[in-house]
Amino acid sequence: NVTTLALFYPDSCKLEELVVIEDGVSGVQWSPDDGVCVIVTGSGKLMLMSEEFECIKDADAKPEAFGTEHQTQVGWGSKDTQFHGSAGKDASQQPVFATPTPISVHDTEETRITWRGDGQYFAVSTVEPRGDDSFRVVRIWTREGVHTATNEPIPGLEESLCWKPSGNLITTTAFSNNMHKVMFLERNGLCHGEFTLSLNEPNTAMSGVHWNCGSNVLAVVYEGLNKSHVLLYTVSNYSWQLKQHYTYEAGSITLMWDPEQELKFHLAVGTRYICYQLCSKVMKCNDTTTLVLDDKQVLTTPMSKMCIPPPMSHCQLVTESTCNSISCHGDNAWLLCNNRTIYRFNNITDAMEGPVHPDEAYVIEKEFPLPSYAALRHLVMVAPNKAFCVAIINDSDALLTLELEDKEVFVVSCMTLEDTVVNLAQHPNTGTIVLQLYSGELFELTDGMLEPWGNQTMRECVQFSEMDLAVFSDEMVVIGRTDFNHLYMDTRLWSYDCTSYSLHRTHLLLTSHTHTLLCVPLSQPAHVARTTEGVVDTGIRAVERGSRLVVSDPTKSRVILQMPRGNLELIHPRPLLLTYLAALIEEGKYEAVFEEVRRHRVNMNFIFDYHPEQFISSLNGILTQVNSSFLELFIAELCEEDTTLTMYSFMGTVSTSAGNKVEAVCKGLIQTISQSESMLPWLNVIVSCYVKIDDIPAGLLCIKDIYQTNPVETEGAIKYMLVLTDDEALFNHALSTYDLDLVLLIAQFTQKDPKEYLLFLNELKSHDELFRKFKIDQHLGRETSALESLVKCDARFEEVCAFVTAHSLHAAALAHYPVGSNEFNVIGQMFGGLLREKGDHEEAGIMYGQCGALKESLSCLRLTTQSHLALSIAAQLHLPSDQVSGIAEQLAGNLKRTNKHSEAARLLDRYCDNPDEAVEVLCEGSLFSEALEIAQMRKRVDLIPDIMEALKQQTETTHAMLCERRESVLKWAERIEVVRTRRATIGTGFEDMDHSDLYSDVTSITATSAASSSATRRTAKSSKGRRKQEKKKYSLKEGSKFEYFAIQEAFKQVMVMLREEKEKIRDMVNILLLQGQRQLSQKLLQSQADLVASVNKHISAIWPSPAPDPEVEAPEEVEPISHPPDFAVQVWALQQFKSC
């Protein structure tokens, strides 16, 4: 019994002895990370060894204690206090745990060890003698060798043991009542579910259970004297379904799942090695009827009619053997089973509820050789009596062409392939068939020959786990998804995170790892339907985590997803729904359109926006199809927004709406309804239209016309209008019709007190028609309309004047009287007085002039700068010269204050005969040439020295200003490079910079309150404060927040100043030269030239390019100067200074 543990080196085929165990070894297993090795010796000891084979822990492998996590009963929730239903109170007396039974005759009494996926726990299944019998027990241990729990007693417990990789359950098997069961244990040893295996053959023992790496497929291995079996199970909604059943000749079977690809497993049967690559795909008939494999039946549900989650179904297609391949052609389904038979089921979409037996069975000819370990697969029906499938012949894959006749399947042709076929797909409409080999190469089956698909190279080929054919913009494309959730279009990688996909009539749907559903329109070419991020530029919808696409109804917008726990969810993605609505609109089925829009809460504007011309032309048909309540909702939601360009722009439709949508729809409906035989069914629609276009009076008049013959129906329309508008507004709209009978009718349905409105209506009836309209308009606040009615009344001019004065309607009143009339002059003088009070002296003077009040006009105009008008009116009044001189002197003062020095000097010289003051004014405005002209014309030589003195002072001031600006330009050019470098190094930092420099130095602003404080200040500032704040934004202080933009703004102001001062400097230089001041004129010209040269030199430093500086992004508070202003200042150069 001595056992030696050794390491085997495959490269050198050598053994290295490591540990000698004298008691022998009954079980050994490495942890998933190869850090700990569990050894159970023949004497019942448990040894934990490190990767260097140093003993970590030595313990008894069969302790009698339950473990450290022993269950404790706290009293409540015990079995005797629970409700047991129909079992009665006696059920509380039954034992909590079942009585264990001895091991079966098939138990090899081997010790089985299994580790949890994270390597923190492991379970050991051993056989223990108790009296004359032996029992099997499962114990759970920690990685450190601490015994934590023992399984609860299970009748017929067997040796199979496997811990689910996800870590939540331990899987084992039991045999009792002549049935094999798969049992699940929790880490505390308690049972957690079970299911019975369908296979029940004599002389067959359970060899083992094996989970794949994704914890979603359970493989059960049987070994028998005659045959061995491998069963593959999956679970959905806590129901276990047998998906595949493989049968082999008698012999030992060893199964191991691939550690990377979850649907791939390796099998050793006797001396033969077999590798299986499975795929998980939703089988569908007519794209809507789902077919789910479950042992000897196929669960079928027409999802277009009902949404039934598995394991439930509408009907069950029953066969005599396990089905391994399904193909559909039209409404018929063909099932390829392990007993070499193809079963046909007709019209499964309309099948009755319950079990359905095949309409026909076709048996494959017995002479055709098929190995026992590989059944036929990839069945594709191309016609009711013709099919393709793949078989293994002489250890190579072969493509078979089958014909189904007289209940028998004949092999017409057999094409041997160089590689294994992993996928076979057919397009339902075109019949194109494409297959994929294990290498990833794609081939099209054409006339019995295989042609390479597209332009593909071996480097681009990728093996797909599921594959389909789709047409993108008239181009046939192979769509394939890999085990790593990569989606390919032909050989081009299209998405990195596609967990499932489904083909719709107009879209490709796919779910992603970000828990979203993406809808890709098939109208776009496949190479442009994807963006650089791998996300389609169309409708995106969030879905539940782990959702998988099951069915997308090609004729409607229904999409069914399956959640991880198995339940189904029915949704209507917006892109599919809008496409379906668009198809209904084009077919003119507006009744269905309105129902779908209402049901799915789609914006009703889409009904018009998708096809405006068709909607307007189909109004008669809409009225015959659509209920009035739908039209009322449609009108209420109607707006000018074009939804095909805003919220539903992803549809890519081109809008043909010409604007004024609301008015066009409402007026079109009103016109169409008015032309119908009866307007009564559509009264609420008419009311809604008039309210929508804000023409409620017209709607009220329409109601009044119908009220005479149908008062009951009209009352409902009035009540509906009161729902759309409030009582007071509707009463006022009724008044605006000037129809007092209508007003009384409406008032009866409002909440107004009759004592109020009856007195008011009686008062109105006492007036004549024009004055009644005036009173109504005055009551409604429509002063302009009221004035128009009042003017038409006889002998009421005093009331007109009072009304005009009260409401400031002078301009409107003047339009009703001819110019020169007494009424025009009276109202005009009133208007002039009002304008004078407002300080608008210029318009007041003009108004007085129109009315013939020249004195009042002159008194207003002499306060303005309109010197020509004022002096013209003074001439008309024949005023004496001294008064005219005084008026001119006052006008000159006004002109001087507005910097119009030349005009002011003209008045002083011409009308006031005051050349001294005229020259002084011109010198203030730097108009020295005009000042010299007046001095010479008046022969006042004594004024020339004063002019020259003022000229010299202005020259020195201008020279100093130009020199100062030049120094500033040099400083800014150097500083802006520093600012630009700092911004490029540390970023713009506008978000993180403190705003406190925008306020006073004593202001305290914290990081948490800066935003709220600035918002409060901004709303509370006066206009003066806001101007001050704007100036602070462009602070040239070094290190300020907007220093970069402040430099640009200051440089711009220098350029503007140079352009504005150009002619003034030229005028000063000319006069200086004429007066012999050469040095002073040359000095001024040089300072100007130096500044212009400096600006031209450094303008590229301030604005490095015509585009905005990429290193500095302007914040929202500042309007950036993206390029320099136009600057074309040419320095005036004189010939006499060229030699200087």
pLDDT tens per residue, range 10-43: 888 888 888 888 888 899 999 999 899 999 998 8
Tokens of 520: 């890709």
pLDDT number for residue 89: 65
Mean pLDDT, residues 447-471 = 84
Q: Give the DSSP letter of residue 1094.
A: H
Beta-carbon contacts of 103 under 8 Å, excluding residues fewer than 6 positions away, are: 109, 127, 133, 134, 135, 136, 157, 158
Greatest alpha-carbon pair distance for the chain in Å reads 152
Indicate the pairing of strand 14-21 with strand 25-30.
Answer: unpaired
pLDDT of residue 83: 66
pLDDT given at position 319: 93
Please report which confidence band the pLDDT of residue 1079 belongs to, taking 50, 70 and 90 as the band edges.
confident
At residue 1027 the predicted structure's pLDDT band, cuts being 50, 70 and 90, is low
Judged by DSSP in three states, 963 sits in helix
Helices (H), 726-866: 727-735, 740-747, 754-765, 769-780, 783-792, 797-807, 810-814, 822-838, 841-850, 854-861
pLDDT beyond 50 at 1058 = yes
Residue 1115 has pLDDT above 70, yes or no: no
pLDDT tens figures, 939-986: 888 888 888 888 888 888 888 988 998 998 888 888 888 888 887 776
pLDDT at 81: 64
Peptide bond into 311 cis (omega under 30): yes
> Torsion angle, CA of 963/969/972/974, rounded to 10 degrees?
-100
Instruction: Determine the 3-state secondary structure of 157 from DSSP.
Output: strand
Q: In this structure, are residues 526 and 471 in contact, taking their beta carbons and an 8 Å threshold?
A: no
Average pLDDT (1108-1123) is: 44
Share of the chain above pLDDT 90, in %: 30
Q: Please, are residues 574 and 539 in contact by the beta-carbon 8 Å criterion?
A: yes
pLDDT higher at 755 or 197 = 197
Q: How many Å apart are CA 567 and CA 587, to the nearest integer?
A: 36
The pLDDT confidence band at residue 87, using thresholds 50, 70 and 90, is low
Nearest to 394 by CA among 417, 361, 378, 421: 417
In whole angstroms, what is the distance from residue 1135 CA to residue 138 CA? 115
**Mean pLDDT confidence for 508-530:** 83
Q: How far is CA 1134 from the centre of its chain?
A: 69
The Cα–Cα gap between 482 and 484 comes to 5
- Cβ(492)–Cβ(472) below 8 Å: no
CA dist., res. 585 & res. 601, Å (int): 17
Query: Is the distance from CB of 479 to CB of 464 less than 8 angstroms?
Result: no
Contact predicate 302/313, CB 8 Å: no
- The band of 763, judged by pLDDT with boundaries at 50, 70 and 90, is confident
* Pairing status of strand 289-294 against strand 332-337: unpaired
The CB density around residue 265, as the number of other CB atoms within 10 Å, is 21
Task: Check residue 73 and give its pLDDT.
Answer: 61
Please give the Cα distance from 677 to 674 (Å, whole number): 8
Mean pLDDT of 536-557: 84
Q: How many other CB atoms sit within 10 Å of the CB of residue 90?
A: 8
Residue that the structure tokens 């099951």 belong to:
550
Q: Which residues have C-beta within 8 Å of that of residue 190, sequence separation ≥ 6?
A: 71, 152
The confidence band for 143, taking pLDDT boundaries of 50, 70 and 90, is: very high
- Is residue 400 within 8 A of residue 388, CB to CB? The reply is yes
Helix (H) / strand (E) element for 1023: namely helix 1023-1033
pLDDT at 988 over 60: no
- Give 527 or 569, the one with higher predicted confidence: 569
Give me the phi and psi of 867, to 5 degrees please.
Answer: -70, -40
Does residue 288 contact residue 553 with C-beta atoms inside 8 Å? yes
Distance CA 561, CA 843 (A): 76
Q: Mind giving me the DSSP string for 287-315? A: TTEEEEEETTEEEEEETTT----TT--SE
Q: What is the pLDDT of residues 314-331, one digit of tens each?
A: 999 999 989 988 999 888
What pLDDT shows up at residue 116? 93
Contact in structure between 223 and 204 (CB atoms under 8 Å): yes
> How many Cβ atoms are within 10 Å of 692's Cβ, its own excluded?
20
Confidence (pLDDT) at 1006: 32
CB 566 within 8 A of CB 236: yes
pLDDT attached to residue 655: 62
Least confident stretch, 163-177, 280-294, 993-1007: 993-1007
How do residues 296-305 score in pLDDT, each as one tens digit?
999 999 998 8
pLDDT of residue 96 exceeding 90, the answer is no
CB 107 within 8 A of CB 137: no
Q: Which of 460, 342, 330 is nearest to 382 (CA)?
A: 330
Token look-up 């508008």 returns: 725
Place of tokens 């470098």: 981
Rounded CA-CA distance 141/149 in Å is 7
Best CA proximity match to 310, nearest among 550, 645, 652, 27: 550
For residue 104, is pLDDT > 90? no
- Edge-to-edge order in the sheet of strand 253-257: 253-257, 264-269, 272-277
Q: What is the pLDDT of residue 1108?
A: 45
Residue from 106, 93, 160, 119 nearest 29 by CA: 119
Q: Quick one: the chain helix, strand, coil %, rounded to 5? A: 35, 25, 35
Band the pLDDT of 183: cuts 50, 70, 90: very high
What is the pLDDT, as a whole number, of residue 1008?
A: 32
User: For residue 1005, what pLDDT is reported?
Assistant: 29
pLDDT of residue 1137 exceeding 60, the answer is: no
- 172 three-class SS: strand
Question: Two tokens at 1111?
Answer: 């290193």
Give the Cα separation of 158 and 756 in Å (integer). Answer: 96
Closest CA to 301 of 248, 350, 252, 232: 350
Query: What are the CA-CA distances from residue 454 to residues 425, 457, 461 (Å)?
Result: 16, 10, 12
Per-residue confidence (pLDDT) for residue 996, from 0 to 100: 32
pLDDT of 366 higher than 90: no
What is the DSSP code string of 641-710?
--TTTTTTGGG-PPP---S-HHHHHHHHHHHHHHTSS-SGGGHHHHHHHHHHTT-HHHHHHHHHHHHTT-
State the pLDDT at residue 1023.
Answer: 62
| Structure confidence at residue 1126 (pLDDT) | 53
Please give the mean pLDDT across all residues of the chain.
84
Confidence class of residue 477 from pLDDT cuts 50, 70 and 90? very high
Contact 209, 265 (CB under 8 A): no
Beta strands in 1004-1075 (DSSP E): none
- pLDDT tens digits for range 154-163: 888 999 999 9
pLDDT of residue 499: 92
Structural contact between residues 148 and 162, judged by C-beta atoms closer than 8 angstroms? no
pLDDT tens readout for residues 378-401: 999 999 899 999 988 888 889 999
- pLDDT at residue 1032, rounded to an integer: 61
The pLDDT value given to residue 84: 65
Q: How many CB atoms lie within 10 A of CB 260?
A: 9
pLDDT band at residue 140 using 50, 70 and 90 as cut-offs: very high
Q: Give the model's confidence band at 194: pLDDT under 50 very low, under 70 low, under 90 confident, else very high.
A: very high
Give the residue with greater pLDDT, 735 vs 202: 735
Q: Please state which of the ranges 191-205, 276-290, 519-533, 948-962 shows the lowest mean pLDDT.
A: 519-533
Residue 868's identity, in one-letter code, is H
Q: Rounded distance, CA 285 to CA 349, Å?
A: 8
DSSP character at residue 19: E
Average pLDDT over residues 781-801: 86
The single residue listed with the structure tokens 């009276």 is 826
Provide the pLDDT for residue 1118. Answer: 43
Q: What is the pLDDT of residue 1111?
A: 42
Residues in a beta bridge with 205: 223
Q: With contact defined as beta carbons under 8 Å apart, do 195 and 180 qualify?
A: no
